[in-house]
């Protein structure tokens, strides 16, 4: 069974479009509430909740993370930049896992994998700090041999393969090559002793292919679930995706 981590960030994106600058994030008139959405997602079968506290606080706020920590019944996966401030925050919250991602002020959501090779020292410091605190570290990386090998060498127990390039090539001739690159990366990571997760751009259609990726433990998915939930409600959106992941 492939596990489903539901990313609740874009629920907060909708909230911030109206309530940016408010001191409170819930309850009262401030809506929608990403934490309430997380609770419903868990009830529908989500195996974990992914939440990204970005440095610019464009969607999720610190209070959201603390509120989620107080009510979550499953695992919390905190996506974060590899910075001292975010490392300190993660050590205070103590989520089940952190996923270290690159951040750019210009991007709408995370685009591309973390360059572990170029940021070796910072990534190593983050992994060491999380290991010491009993927090699992996942590195969000492209399916590149050098990135995979160094992730294992630095002691990260998990990686999350960035599937965005494959998703963007879904209706193009590049798709088979992009999937082959992901497959080779998953095989290489598994051989190196890494737990393999995947995420970015996965939806209700292309999940039929990505679920065949070898050794994948968990898919972290957000945008397509939030989009489907506008029509069906979050619980049905989560249940339907889990069925497609594990037919």
Q: Is position 162 annotated as part of the catalytic site?
A: no
**Facing residues of 187 across strands?**
none
Q: Which is catalytic among the residues 10, 59, 162, 200?
A: 200
Closest CA to 79 of 51, 60, 58, 103: 51
Does residue 98 sit in helix, strand or coil?
strand
Strands of 106-215, DSSP E = 136-141, 158-162, 195-199
Does residue 198 sit in helix, strand or coil?
strand
Q: Which is catalytic among the residues 42, 79, 160, 218?
A: 79
Q: Which is catalytic among the residues 52, 59, 162, 218?
A: 52
For 87-126, b/e burial (b = at least 16 CB within 10 A) is bebbeebebebbbbbbbeeeeebbbbbbbbeeeeebbbeb
Q: Is position 52 annotated as part of the catalytic site?
A: yes
Q: Is position 200 annotated as part of the catalytic site?
A: yes
Is the peptide bond between 27 and the residue preceding it cis, with omega within 30 degrees of 0?
yes
48 phi and psi angles, rounded to 5 deg: -170, 165
Give the residue numbers annotated as catalytic, written as ranges. 52, 79, 200
């Amino acid at each position: 069974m492939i596990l489903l981590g539901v990313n609740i960030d874009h629920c907060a994106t909708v909230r911030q479009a109206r309530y940016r600058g408010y001191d409170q994030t819930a309850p009262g008139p401030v809506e929608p509430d990403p934490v309430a959405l997380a609770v419903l997602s868990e009830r529908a079968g989500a195996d974990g909740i992914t939440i990204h506290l970005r440095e610019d606080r464009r969607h999720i706020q610190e209070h959201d993370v603390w509120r989620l920590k107080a009510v979550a019944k499953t695992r919390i996966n905190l996506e974060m930049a590899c910075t001292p401030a975010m490392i300190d925050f993660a050590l205070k919250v103590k989520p089940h896992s952190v996923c270290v991602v690159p951040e750019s002020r210009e991007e709408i959501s995370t685009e591309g994998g973390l360059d572990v090779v170029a940021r070796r020292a910072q990534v190593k410091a983050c992994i060491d700090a999380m290991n010491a605190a009993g927090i699992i570290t996942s590195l969000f990386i492209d399916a590149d041999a050098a990135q995979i090998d160094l992730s294992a060498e630095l002691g990260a127990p998990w990686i999350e393969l960035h599937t965005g390039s494959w998703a963007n090539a879904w209706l193009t001739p590049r798709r088979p090559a992009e999937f082959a690159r992901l497959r080779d990366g998953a095989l290489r990571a598994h051989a190196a002793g890494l737990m393999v997760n995947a995420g970015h751009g996965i939806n209700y259609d292309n999940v039929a292919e990505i679920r065949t990726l070898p050794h994948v433990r968990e898919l972290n998915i957000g945008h397509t679930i939030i989009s489907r939930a506008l029509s069906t409600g979050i619980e049905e959106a989560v249940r339907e995706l889990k069925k497609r992941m594990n037919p």
